[in-house]
Chain A
Amino acid sequence: MAKDTLSSLVLAGIGLFFLIYSRQYDWGNLASPGEAVFPLLLAVAVLVMAGWLFGHSILGRKTAEEEGVPTGENSLRVLILTVLIVGALLLMDVLGFFTSSFILVLLCCRLLGVRQWSLATGIAAGAALGAYLIFGFWLKVSFPAGLLI
């Protein structure tokens, strides 16, 4: 499927979601517009423009190379990176913010091509410690401590 066709369908979906959801809020009247007016107008605008883009992508004449959905050879790395971040976020309540962040940075370094474990560990430890010293120690931001501490 062409890039613009697919993206216009996704955008239309977003517009439709806001259109349906905003119906539960108050419209008010012209003299006192309610909280539904602005999102509803925007949702309609998104739907119209997404429809226009869809029509244009169907009727437009572009080569498959120009318009095709790109399939990069390293899309797998993006997927793994996403899974790593999701895993770190899920573990934060158990391991704490900085321990899970340390593990995330360590694995992220390895994924992106840092071959030596020692170097990856050093980068992860330095980054986690630096972030802790600035935000946790100095600025007193309260991060999830985890169950282990």
Chain B
Amino acid sequence: MPLLEGLQVALTPFNLFACFIGVIIGTLTGVLPGLGPAAAMAMLLPLTVKMGPTAGLIMLAGIYYGAMYGGSTTSILVNVPGEPASVVTCLEGYKMARKGRAGAALAVSAIGSFIAGTLGIVLIQLFAPPLARAALQFGPAEFFALTIVAVILLSNLSGKGGLKAFLMIAVGLLLSTVGLDPLGGINRFTFNYAGAGTGLSFIAIAAGLFGVGEIFWLASRPDENAEVMQVGLRDLYPTREEIKRSLPPMLRGSFLGFLIGLVPGPAATIASFASYSMEKGLSKHKEEFGHGAIEGVAGPEAANNAASAGAMVPLLSLGIPFAPSIAVLLSGMLLMGVTPGPLFLRDHPTAFWGVIGSMYIGNVMLLVLNLPLVGIWASITRIPQKYLMPVVLLFCMVGAYADNNNLFDVWVMLGAGLVGYLMRRFDYDPAPLLIGLVMGPIMERSLRQALIMGRGDPVIFLASPISIALYVVALAIFVFTLVKKFRGKGQTMAATGCR
């Protein structure tokens, strides 16, 4: 049984330690507003690379799903979402806190996250291996079609307008061409500067866009002092009625979130909104929505965690990242000498099942950490940004430098930080740019290899049923987006009332 072997791998003392540190850092990242999991993972990527593939990936995965757990704490206690997927938790969670039910909201959120995380892992086991086997049928033309679907879906789902998202993906793809050409080995766009020969460091750009950009953004804003709700350990027990009302939304949210996670884009955020809408529609207590309905916490929290698990499937089986944090994970895998994709399971079974096994253990750790230590997490939210951000800046610099032992990368990080800040001010989403940067080499290689294999005949792109099916999906999504846009059905997060 591969999973049992995976659990054995995950339970070795060093891997257990890596998992523990990962979930702690992840929870911290989720609790601290501003710093997202992508920036935290990018900062610590050099550290995880030195730990070896299995322990390194376990730690990165721990940060990733730990952030999803931690994000809800600030939403409920401070009305400030720790990360975008927790925005919707503000709606009902903070209202519950104001009614004196903060502890119950936190407990339901943690239990929902645990159930969803565990169900998500079961579903990864079911989905990833068959998908990886199917992906063995994929040639360059099919991979190119898959990247086209990803680009169209990402532009549809980024939430800042389709054209701007398309532009950011294209700029990310363009930036990925700086450095060595993936097929011919020719240096491009480097001005013959040796430091740029390896291309623009992914870690430097991720740390710049999401870490330093956020620091600049916070520096430009007036200082805010948030009021934090007090929670005692005794308040953490939900009533029997609250548990009864929460369980069905948790299960529904888990399945819905996992399915949304399979699709490119900010899946966790979309999953939480979709689950909230569903619960609002299905609830027998509709009048409580907007005033602290527990279903509005249980469903979305389960959904965003399940979506995080779902987003691992395309990475593990196809080698294509559909979210910024997953893109950092992909970059980490490549740095560790592990090539994600259809052959990952065959070539690195220890790492694959070790990561899956560690997710089970990580979920238990998170439940244990999140509930009794809620007071500590809440007190961390009281630490003013002025103390934290300079430290984050230092670790971003160290992370960017340590990638290649190259000061040029720190300059790239600074440039990316300024661009990230300006993107926020000019209403652009940095996530599509980062994913474009990672997908660039995959897209270019598959495009050129397909043309070479087809001896210049473009018909090769439509030669297989898989490619045709993928292009039909891409076209359908594109048309659907246009129709939706003309009907004026946009969704906004601004209506949540979060700070």
Interface of A toward B, CB cutoff 8 Å = 3-4, 6-7, 11, 14-15, 18, 21-22, 25-26, 29-35, 37-39, 42-43, 45-46, 49-50, 52-53, 56, 69-70, 72-75, 77-78, 81-82, 85-86, 89, 92, 97, 101, 104-105, 108-109, 111-114, 123-124, 126-128, 131, 134-135, 139, 141-144
Contacts and interface: CB of A to CB of B under 8 A. Distances in A.
Given A39-B177, A72-B221, A85-B414, A50 B451 contact: no
15 contacts: A4-B426, A14-B174, A18-B189, A38-B447, A39-B189, A56-B163, A81-B219, A89-B410, A104-B390, A104-B393, A112-B389, A131-B398, A135-B46, A135-B47, A139-B46
B381 to A, nearest CB: 17
A139 B399 CA distance: 12
A14 B391 CA distance: 33
Chain B binding surface, main DSSP class: helix
A124 B410 CA distance: 19
A53 B164 contact: yes
A31 to B, nearest CB: 3
Given A73-B222, A97-B401, A35 B183 contact: yes
Contacts of A104: 390, 393-394
A120 to B, nearest CB: 8
Contacts of B452: 31-33
Contacts, number: 167
A39 B436 CA distance: 13
Nearest to A81: B219
Given A46-B171, A113-B386, A141-B46, A31 B451 contact: yes
B390 A124 contact: yes
Contacts of A26: 184, 186
Nearest to B393: A108
B411 A82 contact: no
B402 interface: yes
Contacts of A70: 425
B336 to A, nearest CB: 14
A44 B301 CA distance: 42
B405 interface: yes
